[in-house]
Amino acid sequence: MDRVRWMFLVLVVGCTFRAVGMTAGDARSSTDTSTADTTPADTLPPVAPRCAAAAGSDDVGVTQTSNAVTLPQAVAAGDIVVVGVSVGGSTSVTVEDTGSNAFAPVASVEVASSQSVYAFWARVGAPLASETVTVMYTDSVYNQLMVGDYTSVSADADPFDQTAVTGSGTGSQGVVSLTTSRRDDALVVMLGDTSGTPPTAGSGYTVEAVSDYSLFEDATAAAPGSYTATAGLPDGTSWSVVLLAIEGTD
């Protein structure tokens, strides 16, 4: 009788130990190491926009009433195309592209006696195997183009976190600052200058396109806060710049 009782106790203890050791995850195969992300969708951080393709044009040594550049790869529906135009003096500017997307002005800084910068953007409606952006002027001007295709961009009608910041001045650095309200904004800088020497990227920024008289660079805002955009220039250079903050997907 005692022997039977001890066998029963051993069996019960063994089963109890197994039951305590089990968790809900044990319902998976012993080789299944996957885990589920239970973070609510509305608390996940935004995905930062990135420049999928960029192109620029250099000064051709003569004035023009239009200019065009072609991006090096296809663009996807929902992307936005940003265009920076650096012009000697000032003029009226219109922009169109292969896909007949509607370009709207974002900001401009006009310096009639020096270099002006105009910034435009458009949402890509249908995917394009080839994207050419054409810029037209009411005057014949010296000009340089900066064009970028940004993907993983907010689907909002206005994809910009803050009003664009502009600035102009003279010196060895072009400097403007902007305060973001979100993390992972794309900070996009479009600069025009008079030096005839290619500008260099500011600290933390990546050059997307550069010419003797213009610079297109960007960076990612790691957290909400104030960010300064800079660019290296020869001493005594006159410059104008536009700084944009593009929101990512939520």
pLDDT, one tens digit per residue, over 167-204 is 999 999 889 999 999 999 999 999 999 999 999 999 99
| Pair 103, 122: CB distance under 8 Å | yes
**What integer is the mean pLDDT of 133-151?**
97
Tell whether the model's pLDDT for residue 15 goes beyond 80: no
User: Residue 188: inside a domain, yes or no?
Assistant: yes
User: Residue 132: inside a domain, yes or no?
Assistant: yes
Say how many Å lie between the first and final Cα of the chain, rounded.
Answer: 69
User: Residue 117: inside a domain, yes or no?
Assistant: yes
**What tens digit of pLDDT does each residue of 88-119 get?**
988 999 999 999 999 999 999 998 778 999 99
User: Residue 25: inside a domain, yes or no?
Assistant: no
Tokens encoding 38 = 């239970």
pLDDT (0 to 100) of residue 59: 78
Q: Is the pTM of this model over 0.85?
A: no
User: Residue 103: inside a domain, yes or no?
Assistant: yes
Gap between the Cα atoms of 43 and 96, Å rounded: 38
User: How many angstroms from the chain centroid is the CA of residue 98?
Assistant: 21
Domain that holds residue 228: 50-246
- What 8-state DSSP symbol labels residue 75? B
Determine how β-strand 143-151 pairs with β-strand 104-109. Answer: unpaired
**More reliable by pLDDT, 50 or 11:** 50
Q: Which of 187, 190, 182, 222 is nearest to 205 (CA)?
A: 187
Tell whether the model's pLDDT for residue 57 goes beyond 80: yes
Vertex 206 angle, CA 205 and 210, to 5°: 115
**pLDDT band, residue 44 (cuts 50/70/90):** low
User: Residue 133: inside a domain, yes or no?
Assistant: yes
pLDDT (0 to 100) of residue 42: 53
**What integer is the mean pLDDT of 83-91?**
93
| Number of domains within the chain | 1
User: Residue 130: inside a domain, yes or no?
Assistant: yes
